[in-house]
Protein backbone atom coordinates (compact mmCIF):
# COMPACT_ATOMS: atom_id res chain seq x y z
CA UNK A 1 0.00 0.00 0.00
CA UNK A 2 0.96 3.64 -0.24
CA UNK A 3 3.40 4.87 2.35
CA UNK A 4 4.11 8.38 3.56
CA UNK A 5 4.82 10.67 0.63
CA UNK A 6 6.79 13.90 0.84
CA UNK A 7 7.34 16.53 -1.80
CA UNK A 8 9.45 17.98 -3.15
CA UNK A 9 12.27 15.52 -2.66
CA UNK A 10 14.86 18.28 -3.03
CA UNK A 11 14.49 22.02 -2.68
CA UNK A 12 17.07 24.71 -3.21
CA UNK A 13 16.09 28.14 -1.94
CA UNK A 14 17.88 31.45 -1.89
CA UNK A 15 18.28 32.99 1.53
CA UNK A 16 15.17 35.00 2.32
CA UNK A 17 12.79 32.94 0.18
CA UNK A 18 9.73 31.21 1.59
CA UNK A 19 9.36 27.45 1.11
CA UNK A 20 6.51 24.98 1.61
CA UNK A 21 7.08 21.28 2.21
CA UNK A 22 4.25 18.81 1.79
CA UNK A 23 3.51 15.54 3.57
CA UNK A 24 0.87 12.97 2.59
CA UNK A 25 0.57 10.53 5.51
CA UNK A 26 -0.78 7.00 5.32
CA UNK A 27 -4.55 7.17 4.96
CA UNK A 28 -6.31 6.93 8.31
CA UNK A 29 -3.24 7.66 10.40
CA UNK A 30 -4.19 9.91 13.28
CA UNK A 31 -0.75 11.18 14.28
CA UNK A 32 1.62 13.18 12.10
CA UNK A 33 5.09 14.36 13.05
CA UNK A 34 7.65 16.67 11.49
CA UNK A 35 11.35 16.20 12.24
CA UNK A 36 14.43 18.14 11.13
CA UNK A 37 17.67 16.27 10.55
CA UNK A 38 20.91 18.19 10.22
CA UNK A 39 23.99 16.50 8.78
CA UNK A 40 25.51 13.99 11.21
CA UNK A 41 22.73 14.29 13.75
CA UNK A 42 19.58 12.40 14.57
CA UNK A 43 16.11 13.68 13.69
CA UNK A 44 15.04 16.58 15.92
CA UNK A 45 11.36 16.95 16.75
CA UNK A 46 9.59 19.96 15.28
CA UNK A 47 5.84 19.52 15.69
CA UNK A 48 3.04 16.97 16.20
CA UNK A 49 -0.56 16.78 14.99
CA UNK A 50 -3.34 14.53 16.14
CA UNK A 51 -5.87 14.71 13.32
CA UNK A 52 -6.13 18.43 12.54
CA UNK A 53 -5.08 19.61 16.00
CA UNK A 54 -1.50 20.74 16.45
CA UNK A 55 -0.86 19.37 19.94
CA UNK A 56 2.81 20.20 20.24
CA UNK A 57 4.87 22.77 18.35
CA UNK A 58 7.59 23.12 20.95
CA UNK A 59 10.32 22.01 18.55
CA UNK A 60 9.77 24.70 15.93
CA UNK A 61 13.02 26.67 16.06
CA UNK A 62 11.55 30.11 15.38
CA UNK A 63 8.39 31.94 14.38
CA UNK A 64 9.55 31.60 10.77
CA UNK A 65 8.40 27.97 10.92
CA UNK A 66 4.72 27.19 10.61
CA UNK A 67 2.90 23.87 10.11
CA UNK A 68 -0.70 23.02 9.40
CA UNK A 69 -2.90 19.99 8.78
CA UNK A 70 -6.27 21.60 8.14
CA UNK A 71 -8.32 18.51 7.26
CA UNK A 72 -6.45 16.00 9.36
CA UNK A 73 -4.63 14.37 6.46
CA UNK A 74 -2.11 16.29 4.30
CA UNK A 75 0.26 18.54 6.21
CA UNK A 76 2.40 21.46 5.07
CA UNK A 77 5.50 22.79 6.79
CA UNK A 78 6.22 26.37 5.79
CA UNK A 79 9.47 28.18 6.40
CA UNK A 80 9.48 31.92 5.85
CA UNK A 81 12.56 34.00 5.04
CA UNK A 82 14.80 30.93 4.90
CA UNK A 83 18.26 31.13 6.47
CA UNK A 84 21.32 28.99 5.81
CA UNK A 85 20.89 27.23 9.14
CA UNK A 86 17.54 25.92 7.89
CA UNK A 87 19.42 23.63 5.47
CA UNK A 88 18.54 20.09 6.56
CA UNK A 89 16.46 17.05 5.71
CA UNK A 90 12.85 17.50 6.82
CA UNK A 91 11.19 14.19 7.67
CA UNK A 92 7.48 13.59 8.04
CA UNK A 93 6.14 10.53 9.86
CA UNK A 94 2.70 9.22 10.67
CA UNK A 95 1.31 6.59 13.01
CA UNK A 96 -2.12 5.05 13.40
CA UNK A 97 -2.72 6.01 17.02
CA UNK A 98 -1.86 8.76 19.44
CA UNK A 99 0.55 6.81 21.62
CA UNK A 100 4.22 5.91 21.22
CA UNK A 101 3.90 2.14 21.41
CA UNK A 102 3.25 2.11 17.64
CA UNK A 103 6.12 2.57 15.20
CA UNK A 104 6.38 5.72 13.10
CA UNK A 105 6.10 5.42 9.31
CA UNK A 106 8.46 7.87 7.67
CA UNK A 107 8.52 9.51 4.29
CA UNK A 108 11.70 9.85 2.23
CA UNK A 109 12.20 13.40 3.45
CA UNK A 110 12.74 16.73 1.73
CA UNK A 111 16.34 17.89 1.51
CA UNK A 112 16.35 21.67 1.78
CA UNK A 113 19.45 23.61 0.79
CA UNK A 114 19.48 27.34 1.44
CA UNK A 115 22.11 29.22 -0.54
Which spans of this chain sit near other proteins (rule: CB under 8 A)? 3-4, 33, 35, 40-45, 48, 56, 58-59, 91, 93, 100-109
Beta carbon nearer to other proteins, 4 or 112: 4
Q: Is the dihedral of CA 8, 57, 32, 89 positive or negative?
A: positive
**Min CB(48)–other proteins separation in Å:** 6
Beta carbon nearer to other proteins, 12 or 38: 38
Beta carbon nearer to other proteins, 75 or 107: 107
Backbone angles phi, psi at 76, to 5 degrees: -125, 130
**Min CB(50)–other proteins separation in Å:** 12
Beta carbon nearer to other proteins, 79 or 91: 91
Q: Do 110 and 6 form a contact (C-beta atoms < 8 A)?
A: yes
Q: Do 67 and 60 form a contact (C-beta atoms < 8 A)?
A: yes
- What residues pair up with 79 in beta bridges, in sequence order? 19, 65
Amino acid sequence: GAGVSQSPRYKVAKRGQDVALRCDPISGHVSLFWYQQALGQGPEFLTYFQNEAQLDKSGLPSDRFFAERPEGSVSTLKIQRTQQEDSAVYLCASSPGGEFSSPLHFGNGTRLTVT
